[in-house]
Amino acid sequence: MKRPPVAPRKQVASRGSVRVGKINSIRLQSSICPAIVAREQRGWEGSMSHVVHAVQHEAEHRLEHEHADGGGHATKVSDRNKKIALLIAVIALFLSLSETLGKSAQTAGIELNIKASDTWNFFQAKTVRQTTLRTAAEALRIELTGQTDEAVKSLMSKQIEGWNATVKRYESDPEQKDGRKELKAQAEQYERDRDVAMSRYHNYEFGSAAYQIGIVLASAAVITGMIGLAYGAAGLGVIGLVFTGIGLFAPNAPHDAMHWFGHLFQAAGAH
């Protein structure tokens, strides 16, 4: 007798291997796709400083090329570009100053926010202790009315007086400066200082943005030869100086101005 052919088994095995291959390919794609997406996201992430450095590099290359060419027209262009290069250097100087002040203000704001949070937590702890002692004193006072033993009543009265004194000390303690009243004032002061520091930080950031855009425009003026871009860069440098000065001397001025304009528009709308 002849044995039946084993071809169907091979076909089943081949079909199974194809199926396993598809599953493995799907798994491979699912594991590779997040990596590809993350890589694409990192590729799109770029800061303004990278753009500034790239444009500055191109401007430096253009200056070197024109200096090598020589000639009358090249000398004029070179003189003009030297002035623009000096403008870029000045703006970059103020940019570094603004960035340094901004980081310092941001760090100060974070530290003050932590101090304010810790002080409010201490204030809440004092409040809980004060409420607990006040409740205990009230309960003991009610129990005192039913006592007939004078010795017990005297001890209970002393205990109530001691708890009440502690409650008052928790409310205000000028010597230790850790009463609820003092802690509240200290926490509010930390919050005000934090708001000022963050206002400084925001003004410095606006100034840094103006400086960076100004550097880009000045570098583009070197590359394209459009002198209007250089004037625009100088104007942005002035704007950056204004924001840096506001951050130094009047950090709350923009907020106060917006608040004033808001009240003005509300009053105009009411009429």
**What does pLDDT average to in each consecutive run of 10 residues of the chain (271 residues)?**
46 41 41 38 46 60 57 72 94 97 97 97 96 95 88 92 95 94 97 97 97 96 93 97 96 88 80 61
DSSP string, the chain: -PPPP-HHHHHHHHHHHHHHHHHHHHHHHHHHHHHHHHHHHHHH---HHHHHHHHHHHHHHHHHHHHHH-SHHHHHHHHHHHHHHHHHHHHHHHHHHHHHHHHHHHHHHHHHHHHHHHHHHHHHHHHHHHHHHHHHHHHHHHHHTT---HHHHHHHHHHHHHHHHHHHHHH--TTTT-SHHHHHHHHHHHHHHHHHHHHHHHHHHHHHHHHHHHHHHHHHHHHH--HHHHHHHHHHHHHHHHHHHHHHH-TTHHHHHHHHHHHHHHHHHH-
Q: Are 214 and 236 in contact (CB under 8 A)?
A: yes
**Per-residue pLDDT at 239:** 98
Give the pTM.
0.69
Question: Quick one: pLDDT at residue 147?
Answer: 84
- pLDDT computed for residue 68 by the predictor: 55
Residue 2: what pLDDT? 46
Q: CA torsion 184→188→189→190, rounded to 10°?
A: 100
Q: What does the pLDDT read at residue 260?
A: 86
If phi > 0 it is left, if psi is from -120 to 50 it is alpha, else beta; for residue 5 that is: beta
- 245/211 Cα distance (integer angstroms): 13
Report pLDDT for 33.
39
